[in-house]
Amino acid sequence: MQIVLKADSIKVQYGGLIAVNDVSLSLEKGQVLGLIGPNGAGKSTLFNAITGFAPVRSGNVTFLGQDVTNVPPYVRTRSGMGRTFQTERPYEDLTVLENVLVAAFLKNPKRKDAEEVAMSALEKVGLQDRANQLSSDLNLARLRRLELAKALALEPKVLFLDEIMAGLNPPALKEMIEFLRTLTATGMSIVMVEHIMEAIIQLADHVIVLASGNKIAEGSASDVINDERVIEAYLGTD
């Protein structure tokens, strides 16, 4: 199996707060890695450190065999990291298509090529009929799909999803899970931060549990959800 992503002993510190403490992970081609843990555990920070949006104090990130620890985010994106943000960030005065075009231009400087890539990303997520609407008119489920289309327009090898399922109703959740399965079937790898256990159980090949910046457990979804340290981290000792 081909390892596409490796992080070794990542540490992120904000002033006196160690947000991520010595966490390592690796991800194989076509696999889904789930990052879970209570609020403030350091999930987004680890995710940001790997994608280049949080400062790495020590440790290394290797992506497709290259050390990218000190490489700026846009270069990581160009080399195949596609990400969403925990808070949707559409350009509200742009149309749905224009939002995705912004991403598509990164690898496709010619407008015609970028438009093709952007439309294809919109088709994949089922938003092609909304291409010319303002993104501010989309409901939550469609905004999430727009975020996903933006990441897909980067033509990523590894897709990083930060709570893409949050707030979705059960049918939309089911659709999103099925859609992500179609992506991994094509060989795409996914790192997902997710609070929705249903999604983790159905999608993740491997799960890492963070609490207070530390890795407290890892393994299959069923292993970690039955782990006493994990239950304690979520529910407290009472």
Using CB under 6 A as the criterion, which residues of the chain lie in contact with ligand ATP when the complex forms? 14, 17, 19, 37, 39-45, 86
Name the residue nearer to Mg ion (CB basis): 35 or 158: 35
How far is the first Cα of the chain from the last one, in angstroms, to the nearest whole number? 42
CA distance 81 to 217: 25
Name the residue nearer to ligand ATP (CB basis): 118 or 204: 204
Which of the residues 188 through 227 are near Mg ion (CB under 5 A)?
none
Name the residue nearer to ligand ATP (CB basis): 86 or 120: 86
Q: Shortest distance, CB of residue 196 to ligand ATP, whole angstroms?
A: 12
CA distance 171 to 150: 22
Which of the residues 104 through 163 are near Mg ion (CB under 5 A)?
none
Q: Shortest distance, CB of residue 96 to Mg ion, whole angstroms?
A: 25
Q: Shortest distance, CB of residue 200 to ligand ATP, whole angstroms?
A: 13
CA distance 173 to 9: 33
Six-digit token pair at 166?
């949050």
CA distance 228 to 20: 21
Name the residue nearer to ligand ATP (CB basis): 52 or 80: 52
Can you spell out the DSSP letters for 187-213? T-EEEEE-S-HHHHHHH-SEEEEEETT
Name the residue nearer to Mg ion (CB basis): 117 or 200: 200
Does 44 contact Mg ion by CB under 5 A?
yes
Which of Mg ion, ligand ATP, none lies near 41, with the C-beta cut-off 5 to 8 A by kind? ligand ATP
CA atoms within 13 A on the CB side of 171: 1
Check: CB of residue 48 under 8 Å from CB of residue 58: no
* String marking each residue 80-99 x if it binds Mg ion according to CB under 5 A: ------x-------------
Does 51 contact Mg ion by CB under 5 A?
no
CA distance 199 to 190: 13
Summarize as ranges the residues that interact with Mg ion (CB under 5 A).
43-44, 86
